[in-house]
A and B are shown apart, each in its own frame.
Chain A
Amino acid sequence: MRTRRTLQVGRDLLMLALLLSLAGCRGCPKSSPPIHLNPNMDNQPKLRAQSASDFFADGAAMRTPVAGTVARGALPVDDLFQTGREGEGYVVGIPTPVDAELLARGADRYAIYCAPCHADSGNGKGMLFQRAQIESADLVEPRLVDMPSGQIFETISQGLGLMPAYDYAIPVADRWAIVAHVRMLQGSDPTTMSVPNGPRVVAAEGESPNGADEQGAAP
Protein backbone atom coordinates (compact mmCIF):
# COMPACT_ATOMS: atom_id res chain seq x y z
CA MET A 1 0.00 0.00 0.00
CA ARG A 2 2.64 2.42 1.11
CA THR A 3 4.93 1.63 -1.80
CA ARG A 4 2.06 2.09 -4.22
CA ARG A 5 1.34 5.53 -2.82
CA THR A 6 5.00 6.50 -3.10
CA LEU A 7 5.02 5.25 -6.65
CA GLN A 8 1.94 7.34 -7.37
CA VAL A 9 3.54 10.45 -5.92
CA GLY A 10 6.64 9.64 -7.93
CA ARG A 11 4.56 9.33 -11.08
CA ASP A 12 2.79 12.62 -10.37
CA LEU A 13 6.10 14.35 -9.87
CA LEU A 14 7.37 12.90 -13.12
CA MET A 15 4.28 14.18 -14.90
CA LEU A 16 4.82 17.61 -13.37
CA ALA A 17 8.44 17.63 -14.49
CA LEU A 18 7.41 16.62 -18.01
CA LEU A 19 4.74 19.31 -18.06
CA LEU A 20 7.21 21.95 -16.91
CA SER A 21 9.74 20.88 -19.49
CA LEU A 22 7.12 21.79 -22.08
CA ALA A 23 7.35 25.32 -20.72
CA GLY A 24 10.76 25.64 -22.33
CA CYS A 25 14.30 25.69 -21.16
CA ARG A 26 16.78 28.25 -20.01
CA GLY A 27 18.31 30.25 -22.80
CA CYS A 28 16.41 28.52 -25.60
CA PRO A 29 15.54 30.96 -28.39
CA LYS A 30 12.00 32.28 -27.99
CA SER A 31 10.10 35.10 -29.61
CA SER A 32 7.86 36.02 -26.68
CA PRO A 33 9.10 39.12 -24.85
CA PRO A 34 10.74 38.69 -21.41
CA ILE A 35 8.33 38.47 -18.48
CA HIS A 36 9.25 40.54 -15.47
CA LEU A 37 7.58 39.18 -12.36
CA ASN A 38 7.65 42.54 -10.68
CA PRO A 39 7.26 45.14 -13.44
CA ASN A 40 7.17 48.11 -11.03
CA MET A 41 8.44 51.18 -12.84
CA ASP A 42 10.10 49.14 -15.58
CA ASN A 43 8.26 51.25 -18.11
CA GLN A 44 7.95 54.85 -17.03
CA PRO A 45 6.12 57.54 -18.97
CA LYS A 46 9.41 58.92 -20.25
CA LEU A 47 10.76 58.67 -23.75
CA ARG A 48 14.06 56.98 -24.47
CA ALA A 49 16.27 57.20 -27.53
CA GLN A 50 14.74 55.55 -30.62
CA SER A 51 11.56 54.48 -28.85
CA ALA A 52 8.00 54.86 -30.12
CA SER A 53 5.59 57.48 -28.84
CA ASP A 54 1.87 58.11 -29.34
CA PHE A 55 2.36 61.77 -28.59
CA PHE A 56 3.85 62.82 -31.91
CA ALA A 57 2.12 62.41 -35.25
CA ASP A 58 4.97 60.42 -36.78
CA GLY A 59 4.94 57.92 -33.89
CA ALA A 60 8.62 58.41 -32.98
CA ALA A 61 9.93 59.73 -29.68
CA MET A 62 12.94 61.46 -31.22
CA ARG A 63 12.38 64.72 -33.11
CA THR A 64 14.06 65.56 -36.39
CA PRO A 65 15.97 68.82 -35.95
CA VAL A 66 14.66 71.77 -37.96
CA ALA A 67 16.60 72.22 -41.20
CA GLY A 68 19.68 74.31 -40.62
CA THR A 69 20.06 73.32 -36.95
CA VAL A 70 23.68 73.35 -35.78
CA ALA A 71 24.60 71.02 -32.92
CA ARG A 72 26.60 72.38 -29.99
CA GLY A 73 30.28 72.39 -30.88
CA ALA A 74 29.58 71.81 -34.57
CA LEU A 75 29.51 75.46 -35.65
CA PRO A 76 32.31 75.86 -38.20
CA VAL A 77 34.38 78.51 -36.44
CA ASP A 78 37.68 77.35 -37.95
CA ASP A 79 36.74 76.99 -41.60
CA LEU A 80 39.90 75.26 -42.67
CA PHE A 81 39.57 72.56 -40.01
CA GLN A 82 35.79 72.13 -40.22
CA THR A 83 35.36 72.30 -43.99
CA GLY A 84 38.80 71.77 -45.56
CA ARG A 85 38.21 74.95 -47.54
CA GLU A 86 39.14 78.57 -47.34
CA GLY A 87 36.91 80.53 -49.64
CA GLU A 88 36.97 78.80 -52.99
CA GLY A 89 40.23 76.94 -52.41
CA TYR A 90 41.00 73.62 -50.69
CA VAL A 91 43.74 73.28 -48.11
CA VAL A 92 46.63 71.27 -49.54
CA GLY A 93 48.06 69.98 -46.28
CA ILE A 94 46.40 68.67 -43.13
CA PRO A 95 45.32 71.46 -40.75
CA THR A 96 46.08 69.57 -37.55
CA PRO A 97 49.30 68.17 -36.04
CA VAL A 98 50.07 64.80 -37.65
CA ASP A 99 51.73 62.40 -35.23
CA ALA A 100 51.82 58.66 -34.60
CA GLU A 101 48.62 58.88 -32.54
CA LEU A 102 46.68 60.55 -35.36
CA LEU A 103 48.00 58.00 -37.86
CA ALA A 104 46.99 55.07 -35.66
CA ARG A 105 43.53 56.59 -35.27
CA GLY A 106 43.32 57.11 -39.01
CA ALA A 107 44.24 53.51 -39.80
CA ASP A 108 41.63 52.28 -37.31
CA ARG A 109 38.84 54.52 -38.65
CA TYR A 110 39.74 53.82 -42.28
CA ALA A 111 39.37 50.09 -41.63
CA ILE A 112 35.87 50.63 -40.21
CA TYR A 113 34.35 53.17 -42.59
CA CYS A 114 36.28 53.05 -45.87
CA ALA A 115 37.83 49.60 -46.30
CA PRO A 116 34.49 47.80 -47.02
CA CYS A 117 34.40 49.67 -50.34
CA HIS A 118 37.90 51.03 -51.02
CA ALA A 119 39.84 47.99 -49.65
CA ASP A 120 42.66 48.04 -47.10
CA SER A 121 45.13 48.99 -49.82
CA GLY A 122 42.92 51.77 -51.21
CA ASN A 123 42.62 50.24 -54.69
CA GLY A 124 38.81 50.39 -54.64
CA LYS A 125 38.31 46.62 -54.68
CA GLY A 126 37.03 45.99 -51.17
CA MET A 127 34.40 43.59 -49.89
CA LEU A 128 31.73 45.25 -52.04
CA PHE A 129 33.77 44.45 -55.14
CA GLN A 130 34.49 40.89 -54.07
CA ARG A 131 30.84 40.16 -53.37
CA ALA A 132 28.98 42.32 -55.86
CA GLN A 133 31.56 43.51 -58.41
CA ILE A 134 30.98 47.11 -57.46
CA GLU A 135 34.20 49.05 -57.77
CA SER A 136 34.80 52.20 -55.75
CA ALA A 137 37.31 54.88 -56.70
CA ASP A 138 40.99 53.90 -56.63
CA LEU A 139 42.42 56.12 -53.86
CA VAL A 140 46.05 55.59 -54.85
CA GLU A 141 45.78 56.70 -58.46
CA PRO A 142 47.84 59.80 -59.44
CA ARG A 143 44.81 62.09 -59.74
CA LEU A 144 43.99 61.50 -56.08
CA VAL A 145 47.62 61.71 -55.00
CA ASP A 146 47.67 65.20 -56.45
CA MET A 147 44.31 66.14 -54.96
CA PRO A 148 44.43 68.71 -52.11
CA SER A 149 43.74 67.11 -48.71
CA GLY A 150 40.82 69.46 -48.25
CA GLN A 151 39.05 67.94 -51.24
CA ILE A 152 39.41 64.41 -49.87
CA PHE A 153 38.10 65.71 -46.56
CA GLU A 154 35.12 67.20 -48.35
CA THR A 155 34.41 63.91 -50.15
CA ILE A 156 34.23 62.16 -46.77
CA SER A 157 32.00 64.90 -45.32
CA GLN A 158 29.61 65.34 -48.22
CA GLY A 159 29.95 62.23 -50.36
CA LEU A 160 30.32 62.29 -54.11
CA GLY A 161 28.21 60.64 -56.78
CA LEU A 162 27.65 57.09 -55.60
CA MET A 163 29.75 57.53 -52.50
CA PRO A 164 27.64 58.32 -49.43
CA ALA A 165 28.47 61.14 -47.00
CA TYR A 166 30.05 60.06 -43.71
CA ASP A 167 29.69 63.24 -41.67
CA TYR A 168 26.99 61.60 -39.55
CA ALA A 169 29.31 58.81 -38.44
CA ILE A 170 32.80 60.32 -38.39
CA PRO A 171 33.62 63.41 -36.29
CA VAL A 172 35.73 66.12 -37.94
CA ALA A 173 39.00 65.25 -36.19
CA ASP A 174 38.65 61.59 -37.22
CA ARG A 175 38.04 62.64 -40.83
CA TRP A 176 41.44 64.38 -40.88
CA ALA A 177 43.00 61.27 -39.34
CA ILE A 178 41.52 59.26 -42.22
CA VAL A 179 42.87 61.77 -44.75
CA ALA A 180 46.33 61.32 -43.20
CA HIS A 181 45.96 57.54 -43.54
CA VAL A 182 44.91 57.86 -47.19
CA ARG A 183 48.05 59.95 -47.76
CA MET A 184 50.10 57.16 -46.27
CA LEU A 185 48.45 54.56 -48.53
CA GLN A 186 49.41 56.79 -51.44
CA GLY A 187 53.05 56.49 -50.40
CA SER A 188 53.40 60.01 -49.01
CA ASP A 189 54.68 60.96 -45.57
CA PRO A 190 51.71 62.73 -43.96
CA THR A 191 53.81 64.01 -41.03
CA THR A 192 55.31 66.59 -43.40
CA MET A 193 51.87 67.80 -44.44
CA SER A 194 50.74 69.27 -41.17
CA VAL A 195 49.75 72.93 -41.37
CA PRO A 196 48.69 73.74 -37.82
CA ASN A 197 50.15 77.23 -37.58
CA GLY A 198 52.19 77.60 -40.72
CA PRO A 199 50.99 79.16 -43.95
CA ARG A 200 47.59 77.87 -44.97
CA VAL A 201 48.46 76.72 -48.43
CA VAL A 202 45.27 76.64 -50.41
CA ALA A 203 44.74 75.41 -53.94
CA ALA A 204 41.79 76.15 -56.17
CA GLU A 205 39.66 73.22 -57.30
CA GLY A 206 41.50 70.94 -59.73
CA GLU A 207 44.75 72.88 -59.34
CA SER A 208 47.74 70.69 -58.71
CA PRO A 209 49.04 71.32 -55.21
CA ASN A 210 52.57 72.40 -54.44
CA GLY A 211 54.93 72.20 -51.48
CA ALA A 212 54.09 69.63 -48.85
CA ASP A 213 52.55 67.21 -51.32
CA GLU A 214 55.52 66.90 -53.58
CA GLN A 215 57.16 63.97 -51.81
CA GLY A 216 53.97 62.09 -52.51
CA ALA A 217 54.13 62.38 -56.27
CA ALA A 218 53.10 59.11 -57.86
CA PRO A 219 55.55 57.03 -59.92
Chain B
Amino acid sequence: MIGAVAAAGALIAPAIVWYFFSPEFTDVGYQPKQPVAYSHALHAGEMNLDCRYCHANVERSSVASVPPTQTCMNCHQLVGQDRPTLEPVRASAASGEPIRWVRVHEVPDYAFFPHDAHLAAGVGCSSCHGDVASMEVVRLEETLSMGWCLDCHRDPAPHLRPFDELTNTRWQPGEDQAEIGAALLAERGLAPPEECGACHR
Protein backbone atom coordinates (compact mmCIF):
# COMPACT_ATOMS: atom_id res chain seq x y z
CA MET B 1 0.00 0.00 0.00
CA ILE B 2 2.70 2.52 1.02
CA GLY B 3 4.47 1.48 -2.11
CA ALA B 4 1.46 2.45 -4.23
CA VAL B 5 1.23 5.86 -2.57
CA ALA B 6 4.95 6.46 -2.93
CA ALA B 7 4.80 5.42 -6.57
CA ALA B 8 1.88 7.72 -7.22
CA GLY B 9 3.71 10.52 -5.38
CA ALA B 10 6.86 9.93 -7.36
CA LEU B 11 4.83 10.26 -10.53
CA ILE B 12 2.82 13.26 -9.43
CA ALA B 13 5.53 15.35 -7.78
CA PRO B 14 7.57 15.79 -10.97
CA ALA B 15 4.35 16.43 -12.87
CA ILE B 16 3.47 19.19 -10.42
CA VAL B 17 6.96 20.68 -10.63
CA TRP B 18 6.92 20.42 -14.42
CA TYR B 19 3.54 22.05 -14.73
CA PHE B 20 3.53 24.65 -11.99
CA PHE B 21 7.20 25.61 -11.55
CA SER B 22 7.81 26.32 -15.21
CA PRO B 23 7.79 29.89 -16.47
CA GLU B 24 5.06 28.70 -18.83
CA PHE B 25 2.92 28.76 -15.68
CA THR B 26 4.56 31.39 -13.49
CA ASP B 27 5.13 34.05 -16.18
CA VAL B 28 3.11 33.52 -19.37
CA GLY B 29 -0.28 35.20 -19.31
CA TYR B 30 0.81 38.08 -17.07
CA GLN B 31 -1.60 40.90 -17.88
CA PRO B 32 -1.40 43.67 -15.28
CA LYS B 33 -4.03 46.36 -14.94
CA GLN B 34 -2.75 49.54 -16.61
CA PRO B 35 -3.43 53.08 -15.39
CA VAL B 36 -5.09 54.08 -18.70
CA ALA B 37 -7.57 52.00 -20.71
CA TYR B 38 -5.25 52.21 -23.71
CA SER B 39 -5.91 49.51 -26.29
CA HIS B 40 -3.44 48.15 -28.84
CA ALA B 41 -6.37 46.41 -30.53
CA LEU B 42 -7.87 49.83 -31.29
CA HIS B 43 -4.72 51.82 -32.12
CA ALA B 44 -2.43 49.24 -33.71
CA GLY B 45 -5.16 46.88 -34.92
CA GLU B 46 -8.28 48.73 -36.03
CA MET B 47 -6.56 52.04 -36.81
CA ASN B 48 -3.51 50.24 -38.18
CA LEU B 49 -0.90 52.50 -36.56
CA ASP B 50 2.59 51.12 -37.01
CA CYS B 51 4.29 50.02 -33.79
CA ARG B 52 7.18 52.38 -34.52
CA TYR B 53 4.92 55.44 -34.46
CA CYS B 54 4.86 55.02 -30.68
CA HIS B 55 7.79 52.70 -29.95
CA ALA B 56 10.00 54.96 -32.03
CA ASN B 57 13.34 53.85 -30.58
CA VAL B 58 12.92 50.17 -31.19
CA GLU B 59 15.13 50.00 -34.29
CA ARG B 60 17.82 52.28 -32.90
CA SER B 61 18.27 51.25 -29.31
CA SER B 62 18.33 48.20 -27.10
CA VAL B 63 15.13 49.31 -25.37
CA ALA B 64 11.86 49.68 -27.24
CA SER B 65 10.56 52.29 -24.75
CA VAL B 66 6.98 52.90 -23.80
CA PRO B 67 5.99 56.19 -25.48
CA PRO B 68 5.95 59.48 -23.54
CA THR B 69 2.62 61.24 -23.00
CA GLN B 70 3.52 63.71 -25.76
CA THR B 71 3.16 60.91 -28.32
CA CYS B 72 -0.43 60.34 -27.24
CA MET B 73 -1.08 64.09 -27.35
CA ASN B 74 0.04 64.24 -31.00
CA CYS B 75 -3.43 62.94 -31.76
CA HIS B 76 -5.32 63.45 -28.52
CA GLN B 77 -4.97 67.22 -28.62
CA LEU B 78 -7.15 66.81 -31.73
CA VAL B 79 -9.46 63.87 -30.89
CA GLY B 80 -11.23 62.68 -27.77
CA GLN B 81 -10.62 65.81 -25.66
CA ASP B 82 -13.95 65.19 -23.98
CA ARG B 83 -13.47 61.46 -23.29
CA PRO B 84 -13.24 60.61 -19.58
CA THR B 85 -11.04 57.59 -20.44
CA LEU B 86 -8.35 60.02 -21.55
CA GLU B 87 -8.41 62.11 -18.37
CA PRO B 88 -5.18 60.58 -16.94
CA VAL B 89 -3.41 61.31 -20.24
CA ARG B 90 -4.48 64.95 -20.20
CA ALA B 91 -3.52 65.26 -16.53
CA SER B 92 -0.08 63.85 -17.30
CA ALA B 93 0.40 66.20 -20.25
CA ALA B 94 -0.61 69.18 -18.13
CA SER B 95 1.55 68.35 -15.12
CA GLY B 96 4.53 66.73 -16.83
CA GLU B 97 4.21 63.81 -14.42
CA PRO B 98 4.69 60.60 -16.49
CA ILE B 99 1.94 57.99 -16.67
CA ARG B 100 2.99 55.01 -14.55
CA TRP B 101 2.51 52.14 -16.99
CA VAL B 102 3.05 48.71 -15.46
CA ARG B 103 5.93 46.83 -17.02
CA VAL B 104 4.91 43.53 -18.65
CA HIS B 105 8.04 42.18 -20.33
CA GLU B 106 11.21 42.19 -18.30
CA VAL B 107 14.29 40.01 -18.28
CA PRO B 108 16.23 39.82 -15.00
CA ASP B 109 18.83 42.55 -14.44
CA TYR B 110 21.72 40.15 -15.10
CA ALA B 111 20.60 39.53 -18.69
CA PHE B 112 20.79 41.94 -21.60
CA PHE B 113 18.35 42.08 -24.49
CA PRO B 114 18.92 44.35 -27.53
CA HIS B 115 15.88 45.20 -29.70
CA ASP B 116 17.89 46.95 -32.44
CA ALA B 117 19.97 43.85 -33.25
CA HIS B 118 16.89 41.62 -33.55
CA LEU B 119 14.99 44.00 -35.81
CA ALA B 120 18.05 44.54 -37.99
CA ALA B 121 18.21 40.73 -38.31
CA GLY B 122 14.59 40.60 -39.45
CA VAL B 123 12.88 39.07 -36.40
CA GLY B 124 9.44 40.69 -36.08
CA CYS B 125 7.69 41.88 -32.93
CA SER B 126 5.12 39.09 -32.95
CA SER B 127 7.81 36.35 -32.77
CA CYS B 128 8.40 37.46 -29.20
CA HIS B 129 5.32 39.47 -28.17
CA GLY B 130 2.51 37.61 -29.92
CA ASP B 131 -0.30 39.32 -31.80
CA VAL B 132 -0.20 42.60 -29.84
CA ALA B 133 -2.40 44.34 -32.42
CA SER B 134 -5.29 42.11 -31.30
CA MET B 135 -4.80 42.66 -27.56
CA GLU B 136 -6.97 45.09 -25.59
CA VAL B 137 -4.41 44.88 -22.81
CA VAL B 138 -0.85 43.65 -23.41
CA ARG B 139 -0.26 40.11 -22.18
CA LEU B 140 3.00 38.20 -21.77
CA GLU B 141 2.94 35.50 -24.48
CA GLU B 142 6.41 33.96 -24.15
CA THR B 143 8.46 32.80 -21.18
CA LEU B 144 11.47 35.09 -21.89
CA SER B 145 13.54 32.35 -20.25
CA MET B 146 17.08 31.55 -21.29
CA GLY B 147 15.91 28.33 -22.93
CA TRP B 148 13.49 30.32 -25.06
CA CYS B 149 16.21 32.73 -26.21
CA LEU B 150 18.53 29.86 -27.07
CA ASP B 151 15.88 27.83 -28.90
CA CYS B 152 15.67 30.61 -31.42
CA HIS B 153 19.38 31.44 -31.44
CA ARG B 154 20.18 27.85 -32.35
CA ASP B 155 17.62 27.76 -35.15
CA PRO B 156 16.48 31.25 -36.14
CA ALA B 157 15.42 30.42 -39.73
CA PRO B 158 11.72 29.76 -38.96
CA HIS B 159 11.43 33.25 -37.42
CA LEU B 160 13.07 35.36 -40.13
CA ARG B 161 10.81 37.49 -42.29
CA PRO B 162 10.99 40.22 -44.93
CA PHE B 163 11.85 43.64 -43.47
CA ASP B 164 8.53 45.16 -44.53
CA GLU B 165 6.64 42.63 -42.36
CA LEU B 166 8.54 43.36 -39.12
CA THR B 167 5.66 45.10 -37.38
CA ASN B 168 2.83 43.09 -38.90
CA THR B 169 1.79 41.07 -35.87
CA ARG B 170 -0.54 38.86 -37.93
CA TRP B 171 2.33 37.62 -40.09
CA GLN B 172 2.35 33.84 -40.37
CA PRO B 173 5.19 31.83 -41.88
CA GLY B 174 4.16 30.31 -45.19
CA GLU B 175 4.57 26.66 -46.14
CA ASP B 176 7.88 27.39 -47.82
CA GLN B 177 9.26 29.21 -44.75
CA ALA B 178 11.97 26.52 -44.36
CA GLU B 179 13.59 27.50 -47.68
CA ILE B 180 12.89 31.23 -47.37
CA GLY B 181 14.23 31.30 -43.81
CA ALA B 182 17.40 29.44 -44.76
CA ALA B 183 17.94 31.82 -47.69
CA LEU B 184 17.39 34.91 -45.52
CA LEU B 185 19.74 33.51 -42.87
CA ALA B 186 22.53 33.14 -45.44
CA GLU B 187 21.76 36.41 -47.21
CA ARG B 188 21.80 38.44 -44.01
CA GLY B 189 24.83 36.58 -42.65
CA LEU B 190 23.30 36.09 -39.21
CA ALA B 191 25.08 34.38 -36.34
CA PRO B 192 23.00 34.63 -33.17
CA PRO B 193 25.33 34.30 -30.17
CA GLU B 194 25.28 31.33 -27.80
CA GLU B 195 28.25 32.34 -25.66
CA CYS B 196 27.34 33.46 -22.16
CA GLY B 197 28.95 36.90 -22.44
CA ALA B 198 26.61 38.07 -25.18
CA CYS B 199 23.61 38.15 -22.86
CA HIS B 200 25.27 38.18 -19.43
CA ARG B 201 27.65 41.09 -19.43
Contacts and interface: CB of A to CB of B under 8 A. Distances in A.
Given A111-B50, A116-B47, A168-B56, A31 B33 contact: yes
Contact of A29 (B4, B31, B75): B31
Interface residues of A, number: 51
A23 interface: yes
B8 interface: yes
A199 interface: no
Contacts of A108: 164
Nearest to A130: B47
A2 interface: yes
B79 to A, nearest CB: 4
The prevalent SS among residues of B at the interface is loop
Interface of B: 1, 4-5, 8, 12, 16, 19-33, 47-50, 52-53, 56, 60, 63, 65-66, 70-71, 73-75, 77-80, 97-98, 100, 103, 108-110, 139-140, 164
B74 A164 contact: yes
Minimum-distance CB pairs A-B, first 5: A169-B56, A34-B27, A42-B108, A44-B109, A164-B74
A162 B78 CA distance: 8
A35 B29 contact: no
B109 A48 contact: yes
Contacts, number: 107
A13 B65 contact: no
Contacts of B77: 162, 164
Contact of B23 (A34, A49, A50, A127): A34
B79 A134 contact: yes
Interface string A20-61: 100111111111111111000111101011111000001010
Given A30-B31, A117-B75, A169-B53, 6 more contacts: A42-B109, A49-B65, A108-B164, A113-B53, A127-B49, A169-B56
Contacts of A69: none
7 contacts: A5-B1, A9-B4, A26-B29, A34-B26, A43-B109, A116-B75, A117-B75
B24 A26 contact: yes
A33 B30 contact: yes
Contact of A9 (B8, B75, B109): B8
B63 A49 contact: yes
A81 B149 CA distance: 41
Contacts of B29: 26-30
B109 A116 contact: no
A41 B110 contact: yes
A128 B79 contact: yes
A197 interface: no
B41 to A, nearest CB: 14
B45 to A, nearest CB: 12
A74 interface: no
A13 B12 contact: yes
A81 B24 CA distance: 50
A63 interface: no
Contact of B75 (A16, A31, A44, A128): A128
Contacts of B49: 116, 127
Contact of A26 (B12, B28, B30, B78): B28
A131 interface: yes
A29 B136 CA distance: 12
A77 interface: no
A127 B30 contact: no
Interface in A107-142: 108, 111-113, 116-117, 127-128, 131-132, 134
Contact of A116 (B26, B53, B63, B108): B53
Contacts of B60: 171
B21 A37 contact: yes
Given A23-B20, A50-B65, A37 B26 contact: yes
**Residue in B16, B19, B49, B53 whose Cβ sees the most chain A Cβ within 10 Å:** B53
